[in-house]
Structure 1
Amino acid sequence: MKIALAGNPNSGKTTLFNALTGKTAHVGNWAGVTVNKKEALIKKIFNQTNTSITAVDLPGAYSLSPFTSEEAITRDFVKNQQPEVIINIVDATNLSRSLFLSTQLLELGIPVVIALNKTDLTQKKKTIIDVAALSKMLSCPVVEIVAVKNRGNGLDALIEKVLSVTEHSQRAPFKIDNVDLNNKKAVKEVDIKRFQFVEQLVQSVEMRQNKSNQQTIQDSVDRVVAHKWLGLPIFAFIMWTVFSISQTYLGPILAEILGGWIEIFYVFVQNLLGNDVSPVLSSLLLDGIIGGVGAVVGFLPLIMVLFFLLAILEDCGYMARVAVVMDRYFKRVGLSGKSIIPIIIGTGCSIPGIMATRTIKNERQRRTTAMLTPFMPCGAKLPVIALFAGVFFNDAAWVGTLMYFMGIAIIILGALVVMRITGEKNSRSFFIMELPEYRFPSIQRAITSTLSRAKAFIVKAGTIILLCNAAVQIMQTFTWQFDVVAAGEQSSSILASVSSPFAFFLIPLGFGVWQLAAAAITGFIAKENVVGTLAVVYSITNFINTDELALVSGGSQVASIMGLSSVAALSYLIFNLFTPPCFAAIGAMNAEMEDKKWLWGGVAFQFGMGYFMAFITYQIGTLITTGTLGDGFIYGFIICLLLVSYLFYLMKKGDKQTVVTLKTMKN
C-alpha cells in the first residue's frame, strides 16, 4: 500500500514523514527543502496490520498547476502513480492558503485524509477550528495532529483513518467540469471561484481573535533582525558566536577527548603489530589508514557542535530571516531572492544545495545559483577550516566567520560577473516567502539532525577518505619502479612526481611544494581529504593533540612541519575552499544546469576565482607583513591578469548583447 504526503511548503509535511517512518529527511523553514520525492515504510507502531505501508514525501506545492519543477513532481505523482490514499497536510494556522491545494486533490477521485497540523499553535492563538464542520464541507476525514511531537498527538488516529478510507470513493466538494486547461482565461476564472469557495469555507469553520492591526512581539523582533541595515551585522555577530562556541570553546574540548581515544587506538594497533610486521604494511595501516582517517574524524566534535547550533538557528525560525536580509543584495546582482535558500542549504552539503536550485524558474538565475552555491563552505570543508584556524590562528573564531562571509561576497561578485556576461542586466525577480513564527527550537530534532550528518561524515571517512588516504600512502611509499622510497628521499615517490607539476603553479600562492599540492588535488575527491592527506604526507597522527598544537616560538610544531607562514596558510585555506567542489557536487551541477557550456564555464570560473583570491591574499599579506612581495609574483600576476582580462572581454561582449536586445525591444 502506498500513501502520498502532499501539502504546501512549510506545512510540516517532511516532519510528519520523519515521525511516521523514523527517517531523518531534512526539515527546513522554507520552500524547496524537499526537491524530490522520498519513500519509506511506516513504522510498525503506527501500522497494526500485516500490510506494509509506504509513505511518499512529495515536494511542497501550492497548486497542481505547477509553477516550479518541484510542484510538477507532486502533480505528476498524484495523477500518474495513483496512490491508494493521499494525506493532505494542512497548516491549521493558515487555512485559507492551504485549502486551495486540498480542493484540487479532492477532485482526483483518490481517497484523501486531511492532517490538520500545528493545532498546538492555534490553541496558543485562541483560534477555534470546527473540525467536524470542515470534514463535512470537504467530504473527507479531518484529523488534528502535531507532527513535531510525534506519537500520541494524532498520528495513530491519522493512520487508522487512512486505513479506513482505502476502499472509499472520494467526492469533490468543488468541481467545474469541461474546463479547457489550455485556455488561460478559463483556468483563471476557475481559480478565482476556487479561492472564493475556500474563503467561504474558512469563514464557516474558523473563529479567531483578529489582531492583525496590532504589532506582536514577533513583529518587533523582525523589525530588528530583518532590518535592511542592522540585519547583516546581527547575522555576522551570530555566526561569530556560533564559530566561537564550536571552534574555540566547546568544540576543541570534545575534540581533545576524541583525539585521545584515537591516539590510544593508534598505540594499541602499533603494539599489536609488533616489530616483525613489514615496515611498509605497518606504515600503510598506522600512518595511511588510522593516522589519515583519524586526523579527519578528530574534527568531528567541532563539526557536530557547529551543525547542532545551525540546526537550532534554523528550527527557531532565524535562518528564514537571513534569506530576507540577503534578498535585497541578491536582487541587485541579478539573482532571485530564492537563490539564498540553496546557498543556506549548501552550508550542510553543496549537493542538496545545488539540487534545491530547481525551485528557481528563471533558467539563467537557476544555472548561476547552481554554479555559485559551492562557494559557500559546506560541512566537508569544516575540518579544513578547523585545522588551519587551530594550527595557525590559535582557534580564532574570526577565521571560520570570515570564510563564510568571503563565500557570500564571492557569490555576489560572481553573480554580477555572470549577469554582465549573459547580458541580462534588466531582469527582475520577486521573492515571496512566508516567514515561520519564532518558536523554541526542538533539542531532539537538532540532535537528530546533527547525528544524521555525523553518521554521513563517518561513513564518508570510512570509505572514500580511507581509500584515498591508503592510495596516498602507497604512492608516497613507492617510486615508479615500485622500489620503497628511502628515508629523506620522498621527492622521488610517485606522489611527489605527480604533484610537483601542479606545485609549480601554486608558488605565487605561497604553497608551491608537492605535499600541499597533493592535499589540494585529493580535496577534489572529497574536501575532507585535504586534512587526511596532510596527515599522511607529513606523518602527523593527530591534529587535535594539544602537545602538537602548543605554541612554540610564535608558531605551532605542526605549522613548522608544513613550513607555512600564517599568510600562506590563509591563502592555502582560501584556495581549497573556493576552487571547484568535490566531484559529486560537480555532477549535481551538471544535472541542474543541463548545459555543458555552463558546466565547464562554471568550473573554470571556480578555479579562476579560487586562484585569484589566494594570490591576492598571499601577495598583499606578505607585502604587509614583510615589506616585500611573495615568491612567484611575476608569473602569478600574469596568470591572474589573463584571467581577469578574459572575464572583462566576456563582460564587454555581454554588454553589446544587452544593447542589441534593448534596441530590438524598442523597435
Structure 2
Amino acid sequence: MKIALAGNPNCGKTTVFNAITGRSEAVGNWSGVTVSAKEAGLKKKYNPEGREITIVDLPGAYSISPFTGEEAITSDFIKEKDPDVIINIVDGANVSRSLFFTTQLLELGVPVVIALNKNDIVSKRGDKIDVAALSSALSCPVIPVAATLEEGLPELLASAIEHGEAQSFIAPPSLASIDTDTARQKLVDQIVNKCLVKVRVANQITLSDKIDRIVAHKWLGLPIFFGIMWAVFSLSIEGVGGYFSAYLNETLFGEIVPNAANSFFENLGVDPLLQAVIVDGAIGGAGAVIGFLPLIMVLFFCLSLLEDSGYMARVAVVMDRFFKKIGLSGKSIIPMIVGSGCGIPGVMATRTIEDINEKRMTTILTPFVPCGAKLPIIALFAAVFFPENTWVGPSMYILAIVMILLGGLLLKKIFVWDSTSSFIMELPEYKIPSLKNALIQMFDKAKAFIVKATTIILVCNTLVWFASTYSWSLKPVEDQSLSILASMGSTIAPLLIPLGFVGWQLAAAAITGFIAKENVVATFAVLLVASEEALHMPGGVITEFFTPVTALAYLAFNLFTPPCFAAIGAMNSEMGSKKWLFRGLAFQFGVGYMVALIISQVGSLIVYGTPSIGFGPAIVITVLMALFLVFIIKRADFKRTQLGVDLS
C-alpha cells in the first residue's frame, strides 16, 4: 500500500512523516524545506502486522495546478503514481487556507483522510473545530492530531489503511458546482463558518505580535539576529562545544587513539610504512576533523531550537527588505538558512523560487553561507590565532551576509537582472521548541558528519599522506617538499602569493578542500603530523605559515571560493545550464580571491603598518579586476538601453 502525505507548506507533513516512519528529515517553519518526494516504510509501532506500507512525503502545495517546481512534483505524483490513499495534512491553525487544496484533492477520485494537525495549538488558542461537521461537509474522515506530540497518529493511520484497502471514496456533492477558484474559495469559507468557532478576535494583539514588534523590527531585527548568532557561536566554540572538542583533539585523538593504534600495530609486527599510513594518514587526518564534532553538534542543536521556536521565519522577513535592494526577496534567505547546515540541500531549496533570475542569483550566493563542513576550518583558525576572542565565528556570518548583498548587487549590474517575485510568508506563532526534535536533528547531523569523516575524508587523507610521502618515482622522500603533493601544490602556490599565502602546503589544503571542506583541516593535520603540538593549540605549528591577518584571509578564501564537488553538482542541477554553472563558479572564485586579497593586504597595512607578501602583484590584480568589472557593467548597460537585449 502506498500512502501519500500532501498539504500546504508548513502544515506539518514532514513532522508527521518523521513520526510514523522513524526518519529524521529536516523540518522548518517555511515552505521549501521539502523539495522532493521522500519515501520510507511505516514504523513497526504503527504497523504491527508487518504489512508492506510505503509512506511518501510530498512537497508542500497550495494547489493541484502546479505553479512552482515542488507543486509540480506533488501534482504529478498524485495524478500519475496512483497512491492508494492520501493523508491530507490540514493546518488546524489556518483551516481556511488549507481546505482550498483539500477540495481539489477530493475531486481526484482517490480516497482522502484528513489529519487536522496542530490540534494542541488550536486548543491553546481556545478555538473550537467541529470535527464531525467538517467530516460531514467533506465526506471523508477527519482525525485531529498533534504531530509534534504524536497524538492521534494511530487513529489516523488506522483510518488511512482502512480506506486505502477498501478504496472507498465519496466526493462531496457540493464540489459538483465548482467551476472557478472564486467559487471554490466561497465553498471553503462556507465550510469554515459552519465548523470553526474562533475565540480570539482578529485584531487582538497576541504575545507573538508583541515579540515580532521587536525581533522583526526593520532596524532592530538585524542587530538582534547578529546578537543571537553571537550567543550561539559562543556557546558552541567557547562553551560546552569547545570544552569537549578540546578533549577530543588533545586527549582522545591527540594521545589515546594514536598511542593505542601504534602499540597494537607494533605488537602485530605490522610494517612501519603501513602503520604510518593508518595512524598518521587515516587516523590523524580524520581525527582532526572528528575532534570538532561536539562543537558542530551544539551549534546544530541551537539552530534547531531557533527554527522550531518560529524565530528563523522572522529572519526571512527581516532580510526581505535588504534583499529587495539587490533583486532578491525573502524567498532567497530560506535556501541560505537551510544551507547553514549543508550547502547541498540549501542549493536544492532554490527550486522553490519561480523567477529564473532570482533563482540563478540565489544558487550562486547560497554557498557563501558557512555550512557545517566549514565550521572545523573556522574553529581551527579561531582557536589557533584568536583564542581569547569570540568574534571570529559570528563575524564570518556577518561577512557572508555582506558579501551576499554586495555580490547580489554586482550580479544584478553584470547581467541586468530584475526580479519579478514577491515574498509572502505566514509567520508561525512562537512556541516552546521541541528538545526531542532538536536532539534528533543534532544526532542526525553528527551521524552524517562521522560518516563523511570515515569515508570521503578518510580516503582523501590516506591519499594526501601517500602524496606527501612519495615522489613521482614512487620512492619515499625525507623532505616533503620533494613529494608528489608538493609538486602539485607548487603549481598553484604562485596564484596565492598576492593573497599573502606562501607555501605549497596552503595550496594543497585549498585543493583538497574542494573535495570536502573539512579536508582543509585534515590536510594540515597530515602534513604537520611531525609536530609535537596539537594542530589546534594556540600559537601552534600552523602559525609558521600565517599571521593573524593572513589567517583570517585564508579562512575567508576557503569560505567564499566554490563549495565542495557535491554542492557544485547540486548547483549544476538547479542551474540547468553548464554555461551558468561555470559563470557561477567563476564569480564565486573571484569573490573569494578578492576578499582574501583585501583582508590580507589592507589588514596587514592597518595592523602591522606594512603590506603582506605579494603586495605588488595584488595591486596589479586589483586594478585589472576593477577595469574588467567596469567594462562588463558598461557593456551590459549599453546592450540593455541601446539594443534592448535580454541578457538573462
Do the two structures share a fold, i.e. TM-score over 0.5? Answer: yes
- Contact (CA 8 Å) 1:63, 1:101: kept in 2 or not? yes
- Contact (CA 8 Å) 1:174, 1:194: kept in 2 or not? no
How many Å apart are 1:206 and its aligned residue?
0.7
Q: Are 1:164 and 2:162 counterparts?
A: yes
Q: Does 44-53 or 347-356 show the bigger shift?
A: 44-53
Over 3 Å counting, the alpha-carbon distance change for 1:550 and 1:599 in structure 2 is: closer
Cα distance in 1 for partners of 2:95, 2:56 equals 23
Residue 255 (structure 1) aligns with:
245
Residue 77 (structure 2) aligns with:
77
Residue 515 (structure 1) aligns with:
505
Give the letter for the 1:479 counterpart. Answer: S
How many Å apart are 1:397 and its aligned residue?
2.3
CA deviation map 1:160-215 (0-9, x unaligned)? 10121122332222666699xxxxxxxxx610000000000000011111322221
Q: Does 202-211 or 339-348 show the bigger shift?
A: 202-211
Give the letter for the 1:416 counterpart. Answer: L
Give the letter for the 1:603 counterpart. Answer: L
Aligned residues: 642
From 569, 583, 590, give the equivalent of 1:601.
Answer: 583
Q: Are 1:91 and 2:84 counterparts?
A: no
Residue 472 (structure 2) aligns with:
480
Cα distance in 2 for partners of 1:640, 1:349 equals 32
Q: Does 655-664 or 587-596 show the bigger shift?
A: 655-664
TM-score (structure 2 length as normaliser) = 0.96
Q: Are 1:431 and 2:430 counterparts?
A: no
Q: Are 1:286 and 2:279 counterparts?
A: yes
Q: Are 1:232 and 2:222 counterparts?
A: yes
Residue 185 (structure 1) aligns with:
none
Over 3 Å counting, the alpha-carbon distance change for 1:154 and 1:176 in structure 2 is: closer
Identity %: 55
Cα distance in 2 for partners of 1:580, 1:549 equals 25
Cα distance in 2 for partners of 1:122, 1:81 equals 34
- Contact (CA 8 Å) 1:109, 1:169: kept in 2 or not? no
Residue 182 (structure 1) aligns with:
none
Cα distance in 1 for partners of 2:568, 2:532 equals 31
Give the letter for the 1:632 counterpart. Answer: G
Cα distance in 2 for partners of 1:204, 1:64 equals 25
Cα distance in 2 for partners of 1:114, 1:149 equals 18
Q: Are 1:616 and 2:598 counterparts?
A: yes
Cα distance in 2 for partners of 1:517, 1:333 equals 34
Give the letter for the 1:557 counterpart. Answer: G
CA deviation map 1:470-497 (0-9, x unaligned)? 00000011011111102xx211110000
RMSD: 1.8
CA deviation map 1:94-148 (0-9, x unaligned)? 1100000000000001000000001111111111111111111100001111111
Q: What's the secondary structure of 2:87's corresponding residue?
A: strand
How many Å apart are 1:60 and its aligned residue?
0.3
From 185, 206, 211, give the equivalent of 1:216.
Answer: 206
Residue 327 (structure 2) aligns with:
334
How many Å apart are 1:540 and its aligned residue?
6.3
Residue 48 (structure 2) aligns with:
48
Cα distance in 1 for partners of 2:193, 2:126 equals 16
CA deviation map 1:515-569 (0-9, x unaligned)? 11100100000000000000001116898x5xx7565xxxx12343x43110111
TM-score (structure 1 length as normaliser) = 0.94
Residue 417 (structure 1) aligns with:
410
Q: Does 276-285 or 193-202 show the bigger shift?
A: 276-285
1:83-122 equivalences under 5 Å are 83-122=83-122
Q: Are 1:308 and 2:301 counterparts?
A: yes
1:29-48 equivalences under 5 Å are 29-48=29-48
Give the letter for the 2:283 counterpart. Answer: I
Give the letter for the 2:450 counterpart. Answer: I
Residue 558 (structure 1) aligns with:
541
Give the letter for the 2:395 counterpart. Answer: L
- Contact (CA 8 Å) 1:295, 1:535: kept in 2 or not? yes
- Contact (CA 8 Å) 2:502, 2:545: kept in 1 or not? no
From 202, 210, 221, give the equivalent of 2:192.
Answer: 202
Residue 576 (structure 1) aligns with:
558
How many Å apart are 1:379 and its aligned residue?
0.4
Cα distance in 1 for partners of 2:521, 2:100 equals 51
How many Å apart are 1:286 and its aligned residue?
1.2
Cα distance in 2 for partners of 1:549, 1:414 equals 32
1:56-75 equivalences under 5 Å are 56-75=56-75
How many Å apart are 1:336 and its aligned residue?
2.5
Over 3 Å counting, the alpha-carbon distance change for 1:355 and 1:549 in structure 2 is: closer
Residue 640 (structure 1) aligns with:
622
Residue 173 (structure 1) aligns with:
172
How many Å apart are 1:414 and its aligned residue?
1.2
Q: Does 160-169 or 113-122 show the bigger shift?
A: 160-169
Q: What's the secondary structure of 1:485's corresponding residue?
A: coil
Residue 398 (structure 2) aligns with:
405
Cα distance in 1 for partners of 2:489, 2:50 equals 59
Cα distance in 2 for partners of 1:541, 1:285 equals 17
From 327, 346, 350, give the equivalent of 2:343.
Answer: 350
Q: What's the secondary structure of 1:524's corresponding residue?
A: coil
Unaligned runs of 5+ in 2: none
1:535-550 equivalences under 5 Å are 535-539=525-529
Give the letter for the 1:296 counterpart. Answer: V
Q: What's the secondary structure of 1:500's corresponding residue?
A: helix
Cα distance in 1 for partners of 2:53, 2:629 equals 55
How many Å apart are 1:22 and its aligned residue?
0.1
- Contact (CA 8 Å) 1:291, 1:542: kept in 2 or not? no
How many Å apart are 1:12 and its aligned residue?
0.4
Cα distance in 1 for partners of 2:41, 2:152 equals 19
CA deviation map 1:595-631 (0-9, x unaligned)? 1111101100111111100000000111112212111
Cα distance in 2 for partners of 1:540, 1:235 equals 42
Q: What's the secondary structure of 2:90's corresponding residue?
A: strand
Give the letter for the 1:441 counterpart. Answer: P
- Contact (CA 8 Å) 1:38, 1:57: kept in 2 or not? yes
How many Å apart are 1:394 and its aligned residue?
0.3
How many Å apart are 1:396 and its aligned residue?
2.7
CA deviation map 1:202-247 (0-9, x unaligned)? 0001111132222111101001000000000000100111111001
How many Å apart are 1:50 and its aligned residue?
4.2
Cα distance in 1 for partners of 2:490, 2:644 equals 50
Cα distance in 2 for partners of 1:610, 1:168 equals 58
Cα distance in 2 for partners of 1:424, 1:353 equals 22
Q: Does 595-604 or 83-92 show the bigger shift?
A: 595-604
Cα distance in 1 for partners of 2:411, 2:556 equals 21
How many Å apart are 1:658 and its aligned residue?
2.9
Cα distance in 1 for partners of 2:384, 2:127 equals 56
Cα distance in 2 for partners of 1:446, 1:573 equals 29
Give the letter for the 1:195 counterpart. Answer: Q
Residue 636 (structure 2) aligns with:
654
- Contact (CA 8 Å) 1:392, 1:559: kept in 2 or not? no
Cα distance in 1 for partners of 2:173, 2:375 equals 52
- Contact (CA 8 Å) 2:107, 2:175: kept in 1 or not? no
How many Å apart are 1:642 and its aligned residue?
2.5
Q: What's the secondary structure of 1:94's corresponding residue?
A: helix
Residue 21 (structure 1) aligns with:
21
Over 3 Å counting, the alpha-carbon distance change for 1:535 and 1:270 in structure 2 is: same
Q: What's the secondary structure of 2:3's corresponding residue?
A: strand
Residue 534 (structure 1) aligns with:
524
